[in-house]
Structures are given as C-alpha cells and as structure tokens.
Amino acid sequence: MVKWTNYDELDSAKELASLKNQVDVKSVMSGDNGAKRVKEYSVPMSSGLVYNYASKQVDDKVVDTLAKLADEAELVDKFACLYNGEVVNTGEKRLVLHQLTRGQLGDDVVADDVNKREFYVSQQERIAEFANKVHNGEIVNEKGEKFTTAVQIGIGGSDLGPRAMYLSLENWAKTNKCFKMEARFISNVDPDDASAVLDGIDVAHSIFILVSKSGTTLETLTNESFVKDALKKAGLDPSKHMIAVTSETSPLAKSDDYLDAFFMDDYIGGRFSSTSSVGGAVLSLAFGPEIFARFLNGAAAEDKNSTNKDIRKNPALLDALIGVYERNVLGYGTTAVLPYSQALSRFPAHLQQLDMESNGKSVNRFGEEISYKTGPVIYGEPGTNGQHSFYQLLHQGTDIIPLQFIGFKNSQMGNDVVIENSTSQQKLKANVAAQIVAFACGKDDDNRNKYFEGNRPSSIIVGDELTPEALGALLAHFENKVMFQGFTWNINSFDQEGVQLGKVLAKKVLAGDTDGALKAYSELLEI
C-alpha cells in the first residue's frame, strides 16, 4: 500500500532544498569539462532516442537526492498502482488507463465487468478494419467514390494531441509511401475555423470524425451542426459522411446519424487520448492502421522504461524530478519546449495542455490546500523560428526559463541542398547545438548589451529520425513526466475542474440568465 504524502512533508524534499544553486552550469559546461559531461549525462530511451541533461543545474549529488525523493514518494510504485487499475483519479473517482491502449504493463484490469485492455484493443481492431475498407474502396460516398480526406471535429484533447501527431508524421508518411488520406481538424467554436476547413476541402469526398466522449460537448456539437449544414447544402446525406468516437453510453453511440461509432471510456482523459480511439481513427485513416500500431509500440516501449526504479535508467522519472528541483528549489515558473523539427510544430501546444491541465492545481489529491508550487507554464515553438522571436528573453531576460530541446540527426523527407558547404539539416543541427552552449556558457563582453550571463539550463532529447516509434516514445515520455511530477506534488493530475466554470457561465449567457459584470460583458459583446 503506497502512502500519498505532500511534497513538503518528504525528508528528501528538505534535503533537496539544501542543494539550491549546487551547480554552476557555465562552469561545468565550459571547455573539456563540458565535453565530458555531455557524454556522461545521457540516458537511453526507446526507439533510438536519448535524453541528455548535461546542461541542467544538477550533478551526481543532486541526482542522488532526486533518487531518494523518487523512492520516498514511491513514484514508480504509484505508476504501478495506476496501470494495475487503482483509482488514482481521486477527484472523479476513476481509474486512469491510457497506458493500456498501447500495452499491458501489469495485471489485467477489469472494470465495469470488462477487461479494459481487451476492450481498447477491440476498438483498435474495429478502427483498423474500418480504415482498411475506406482505403480499399469498400466504404465509399453516395456516388461510389473513395473518400480522400478525413476531418476530425473535436476540442481540447480531442484535437490538440491527434492534430500534433498527424502533423508530426504527415511528411514522413508521404516520403515512405504510406500516406493514405489528408486530415484536417475543426476545433474552435469560432465559425471561421469550420468555414476555413470546409472551404479548403472537397466535402463530397470527405469523411468526418466527431469526437465527444459524452456526446454533449457544446463546441463539438455546434461544429457538427455546421458540417452537417454544409453537407446538406451540397446535396449530401451527412449520415453517409460521418463516424463518431464516443462512449458506449452517449447519445452518439447507436445513432443512425453515423456510418459507425468507435468507443472510449471515462478512464482515458482527453489530453491522454492520442493512443486511444480518439487518435486511432484519424491516424489510421490518414496513414493506415500499421503505422498507428508502430506509433503505439513506441509509446509502449517508453512506458516500460518508466517502470524502472533506477532514476538513471528511467528518463521520464529523471526529467520529471529535475523539473521538480527547478520548480520548487530553484523557483523557475516556466518551461519552454523547443523542437528543432518542423514536423513537431504543434507538439508544444499539445504539451501545454498535457502539463498545464494536469498539474495546474493548488490543492492536493484529497482537496486540501497546499503551500508549495506545482505545474509550470509551458510554451514553445519550433527552432529555428523561435530563435528569431522569443529567444531574446530566454538569453538576456530577467527570468531564467528552463529549456527542453528536441532534435533529430536526419530529416524526414530526405530533400536537402548544400549552401555554403553545409546542408539545411546540418544548419538546423548546428543551431540547436549552438543554442544549448550559448544558453549554458553565455558570452563576456564589456558592452553590457552584448553580454550573456549564461547559466540558462536546458536538456535535449535526440533521435535519429522522427518515425512513428520515436513519436510514440516522445509522447509517452512527456505523459509519464507529467504523471511523476503530479505524484511528487501529491496532486491529482487526471481531472480538470478548472475548465468547467467558464463553460457553465457561457451557458448562462446563452440562456440570458445574467447579471452584474456577466450581463455587462454580454452587452459589450452584443450577445
């Protein structure tokens, strides 16, 4: 039986606090010391990835103390509680089972008289069969013509994760001759979002994926009506162009309005749902079920790494606890995610939701107020674009912002050109290497405007190429990092009450049930 204890009550947390400013990054990363440190401070991940933390403000003493923290807080044991089916979502009194969508780490999990692993696999198999029939021309539009575009209608985790995953593999799939269909996404209730997507596709050859667990999500159902109206205006039967991803108990589950329905359940949160039917339908249609399976395999392999109790062999655990050290000891409130891969252009947006919706909490898992800091602000953009944008503040601003770089040795598409004796990919890699050292070591200059203090900590995940397996491993790494941090802070990372209040008030506005400031703002916006 694990013990759930507040972070500030852990002896190892107090020991960790005594190590503030233990490491001067500028010193340890300069000269030969830096070269040696880069080689030593690396942890292998799955799918050819490596997590390197040489430029973080830690040394062996700090990592040893983080290992004590992991043991005292029973973090890996709590992960086992999660994947073995204990109720770790205390706010909603639910199991948390997204790992089961890509592998079986522990015991069979039976809930509601259903083997949940078998249930998730059965939905993947149904989606695979459906996608193959679409690709083979067995499921077609009213004129007997093949569908060429898949459009996902969802919001939050039903959009951000699947959209990021699709963009991450789109060019890889085209290069590797496994690209099946274009995918588009409608999420915002702003009518310009749906209009822009519909104007850019051939609706007669499009299949729409409505994603709503409850079948009652206001923005999603509004956009569904928008799409149905467009289909009807084109003389098309919406029921021949739409599928649903929902729960078995929702009003969408057995509706004649859809070609088919594929199921998820309350044990998989939206931001953790990319490896479930939520991501499975659109990714299987876009790239084929085999590619989606490879993506799942990458995630499963990294989940297995996260079961290792040795922090130096568990990259997600190490990354998580270095983040705790930065947040709670060094006092850093923000983290930038900086992928040097255009394919990962929306990956920071997904991680923003994953992290901030999970760990943006000020009460512990029992609803008691806590006095220490929890989740940081997450943001980011791909390099090298970000270098010409917000890196100025990262280098010379008054706040120190920890950085998480992601880079690959090879491009996805293989097209390149030599300019000034180097290829574009070499220039990209040169930039990320230069940035890490520039942030760590800085630059002395008598002109204070050109002086760089350095001591800006960073880590990097490096891979050979962004493949389906590598993408799955990346996703699982960050999911598990967020989970381990939530366990450390003794908060519930798996509910999101903070998104609900605005929804309730919006419904009051639409119903005309307003007073005070809410009424005044409604009038200002002419609602």
Tokens of 439: 């942030």
Which among 237, 228, 457 has a CA at the least distance from the CA of 326?
457
φ/ψ region of 331 (left if φ > 0, alpha if ψ in -120 to 50, else beta) reads left
- Active-site residue, from 39, 61, 503, 507: 503
Catalytic residue among 368, 388, 420, 526: 388
Q: Which residues lie below 8 Å from residue 335, measured CB to CB, with a gap of 6+? A: 323, 326, 355, 376, 377, 378, 401, 402, 403, 404
Q: Is 357 a catalytic residue?
A: yes
Residues 40 and 20: their CA atoms lie apart, in Å, by: 22
Given 357, 381, 469, 479, which residue is catalytic?
357
- Nearest Cα neighbor of 163 from 7, 311, 350 is 350
Gyration radius of the chain over CA positions:
24
Q: Is 3 a catalytic residue?
A: no
- Catalytic, 477? Answer no
CA distance 185 to 196: 10
Residues 242, 210: contact at Cβ < 8 Å? yes
Considering only CA atoms, which of 246, 80, 281 is closest in space to residue 161? 281
Please list the helix, strand and coil fractions of the chain in percent, rounded to the nearest 5, in that order: 50, 15, 35
396's enclosing H/E stretch is: helix 391-396
Active site residues: 357, 388, 503
